[in-house]
Amino acid sequence: MEKILFVIPPNMDYNRFVNPGFNERVTVKKSGRYGSPITDMPLGIISLSAYLKKHAEAEIKLIDFNILLNKLESFNYNSFVSLYRDFLTANNLHGYAPDIIGISALFTTGYYNMIDIANVARDLFPKSLIIAGGGVPTNLFKRIFTECKSFDALCFGEGEKPLLELVKADDKMELLKNHKAWITKEKIESQDSPKYDFIHDLDEIPFYDYSILDLEAYRLSPTVTNYATFKSNSSLFHYMTSRGCPYCCCFCASHTVHGRKMRYHGINRVKEDFIRLKDEFKATIINFQDDHLMADKKRVHEIINIAKEVGLQLYFQNGITMRSLDRKMLESMKSAGVTDLVLPIESGSNRVLRDIMHKPIDLSIVKQVVNDCRQLGIDTDANILIGLPGETKQDIEDTRVFLKSLDANWFRIVVATPLVGSEMFKICIEKNYLSSDDVVCDFKKAIVSTEDFTAEYIEQTAYSLNIEINFVENSDFRLGNYKKALERFKNTIKVKNDHAFAYYFAAKCYKKIGLDSEYQVYKQKYQELIEKSVFWQNYATQFNIFPLS
């Protein structure tokens, strides 16, 4: 029986973890304040595990270092490498010596962590086969082999079929040498181009192997805790019903792993999975991770009806296209208990949407969707990107003006990130727009500077826009929905307990709804923060925030 250890690197580097930025979510431990890694369920890994267990004899374990970082009551390591070494030793693995160590790296935020884990694993388990897969190895395989000697092979695209063939092979090195989806250093040197090896009928993949996850720990995911509409006892499970996306949004790179052609789980399979998630795992919310869930609207209506029949709430974190959200679709979602929608608006400039992002959307559609959601009682969280190549400061100002006119409940304004494999990344490389040759980036740290703006300008502007639109110009407060606005302000405090503006506007909400004792508490906390923070004093001056009476 093959012993396989899957490892997920932290999605932030050590310095960002121990010294979180001004615009980042934090968590408090006994040893201090730290960054808060995202802990979404790793669907790729649990799909691989299910497929392997169906077709081969395999004993599978998982270490998700994002989960470990969130669970630690104190952090006493001087580097992530020390953490890796500690948790990859045989003692922590209860004597488990893996035959194969597979590292999953979806985004470049984990790039150097992936390499460090491979080096530690090579030292601790010199006889193990060390491989990696995901968006980073698929798009950066040449660089990885240049910078790291610890990998035996990297997987190109999806990994179910390539990994199964590797596990079943008697001569694994020979398999790596000949298989089209496995990349080795020798193949790169011989300029042998890798090829995808997809599963075309997704129903060949069994029910995801959620059993290898520490399910209670994934309740800490910001996906749940960042949204005020989710109850604290929600049991949320990530799920995908399809793979692929035909659209060509300039900032997206998912097609490099899953391709552009749509592939689906059958509707009966989806129903079986929903029933099992509820009955066996006590799921209450299904969180869709499809890249393009709305490719078939009829199918989405069927899925919604299944959820209603089974008794599950639905949450659409990904895969929503604005054009698909007509009134009928929104009413169907509402009937299934949908309380919050993430809207991929992306920009408040039609020029940016059309000419730069290549998104099939118009701002008139955006306003209609937001208004319909308000009428139906569905909260809306609007995703906005600023700082793309070709975007101008005037485009960003147009976005600011448009967002102020939009009655969404909340806005998540982030910096545009050049994901490896995306058109945006290629443009940045061609025009030398990156602030360094470092590929590590996320939606908080800007690294793109163009003829129109600097990275520093974009990072500061994104945060300033968040302050203005979500607090100073908060739509729920403006419309007199003070209890709804208060939910969002208090949720911000839960995520970042030194957010002065959240205390300020929460105090104003308490004043409006006649709760004077709560008003005094939040007013006092605001005053304490503003008096000792030049950072918040500057924002108070910028937005003419007057002392509370």
Residues 28, 119 within the same domain: yes
Q: Measuring CA to CA, which residue among 461, 436, 440, 439 is closest to residue 449?
A: 436
Cα radius of gyration rounded to whole Å, the chain: 24
- Flag whether 45 is in a domain: yes
Residues 362, 236 within the same domain: yes
The pLDDT tens digits for 30-70 are 999 898 888 899 999 999 999 999 999 999 999 999 999 99
Residues 183, 235 within the same domain: no
- Flag whether 46 is in a domain: yes
Cα end-to-end distance, the chain, whole Å: 71
Residues 254, 304 within the same domain: yes
- Flag whether 44 is in a domain: yes
Looking up tokens 């994002």 gives: 66
Please state, in angstroms and rounded to a whole number, the distance separating the CA atoms of residues 300 and 303.
5
Please state, in angstroms and rounded to a whole number, the distance separating the CA atoms of residues 75 and 81.
13
Residues 155, 8 within the same domain: yes
What amino acid is encoded at 145 in this protein?
A: F
- Flag whether 58 is in a domain: yes
Query: What is the length of the chain?
Result: 549
Which residues neighbour 326 within 8 Å (Cβ) at sequence distance 6 or greater?
Answer: none
Which residues neighbour 189 within 8 Å (Cβ) at sequence distance 6 or greater?
Answer: none
User: Would you say residue 329 has pLDDT above 60?
Assistant: yes
Q: Which of 164, 189, 214 is the last residue of a domain?
A: 189
When pLDDT is cut at 50, 70 and 90, the band that residue 157 belongs to is very high
Looking at residue 286, which CATH number applies to its domain?
A: 3.20.20.70
Other beta carbons within 10 Å of 306: 21
Distances (CA, A) of 430 to 46, 358, 389, 426, 458: 37, 19, 11, 6, 20
User: Would you say residue 224 has pLDDT above 80?
Assistant: no
The pLDDT tens digits for 441-468 are 778 889 999 999 999 999 999 999 999 9
Residues 168, 250 within the same domain: no
Residue pair 229/340 in contact (Cβ under 8 Å)? The answer is yes
Total domains in the chain come to 3
Write b or e for each residue in 245-257: b if 16 or more Cβ atoms lie within 10 A of its Cβ, otherwise e.
bebebbbbbbbbb
Residues 147, 234 within the same domain: no
Other beta carbons within 10 Å of 440: 17
- Flag whether 165 is in a domain: yes
Residues 396, 501 within the same domain: no
As to burial, measured by CB atoms within 10 angstroms (0-12 exposed, 13-18 middle, 19+ buried), residue 206 is middle
At 439 the pLDDT is 75
DSSP string, 180-192: TTEE-HHHHHTT-
- Residue 260, both tokens: 């552009």
pTM above 0.75, yes or no: yes
Residues 271, 378 within the same domain: yes
Residues 159, 280 within the same domain: no
User: Would you say residue 310 has pLDDT above 50?
Assistant: yes
In this prediction, residues 241-252 reach a mean pLDDT of 95
- Flag whether 492 is in a domain: yes
User: Would you say residue 549 has pLDDT above 90?
Assistant: no
When pLDDT is cut at 50, 70 and 90, the band that residue 239 belongs to is very high
- Flag whether 458 is in a domain: no
Write b or e for each residue in 400-414: b if 16 or more Cβ atoms lie within 10 A of its Cβ, otherwise e.
bebbeebebbbbbbb
Residue pair 467/543 in contact (Cβ under 8 Å)? The answer is yes
Residue pair 274/310 in contact (Cβ under 8 Å)? The answer is yes
Q: Which of 415, 438, 463 is the last residue of a domain?
A: 415
Please state, in angstroms and rounded to a whole number, the distance separating the CA atoms of residues 186 and 288.
39
Distances (CA, A) of 534 to 282, 374, 418, 504, 529: 47, 37, 32, 16, 10
Which residues neighbour 391 within 8 Å (Cβ) at sequence distance 6 or greater?
Answer: 347, 349, 352, 356, 416, 450, 452, 453
At 228 the pLDDT is 47
Q: Helical H runs in 311-387? A: 327-335, 350-351, 363-376
Residues 402, 256 within the same domain: yes
When pLDDT is cut at 50, 70 and 90, the band that residue 488 belongs to is very high
Q: Which range has the worst mean pLDDT, 12-26, 199-213, 358-372, 535-549?
A: 12-26
**What angle, rounded to 10 degrees, do the helices at 111-124 and 80-88 form?**
40
Residues 483, 391 within the same domain: no
Please state, in angstroms and rounded to a whole number, the distance separating the CA atoms of residues 230 and 232.
6
Which residues neighbour 106 within 8 Å (Cβ) at sequence distance 6 or greater?
Answer: 44, 134, 135, 136
Looking at residue 493, which CATH number applies to its domain?
A: 1.25.40.10
- Residue 130, both tokens: 């060390």
Residue pair 17/109 in contact (Cβ under 8 Å)? The answer is no
When pLDDT is cut at 50, 70 and 90, the band that residue 220 belongs to is low
Domain range enclosing 492 = 476-549
- Flag whether 239 is in a domain: yes
Q: Which of 415, 432, 463 is the last residue of a domain?
A: 415
What amino acid is encoded at 470 in this protein?
A: N
Q: Is the four-CA dihedral 210, 212, 216, 222 of positive or negative sign?
A: negative
Which residues neighbour 414 within 8 Å (Cβ) at sequence distance 6 or greater?
Answer: 383, 384, 385, 386, 443, 444, 462
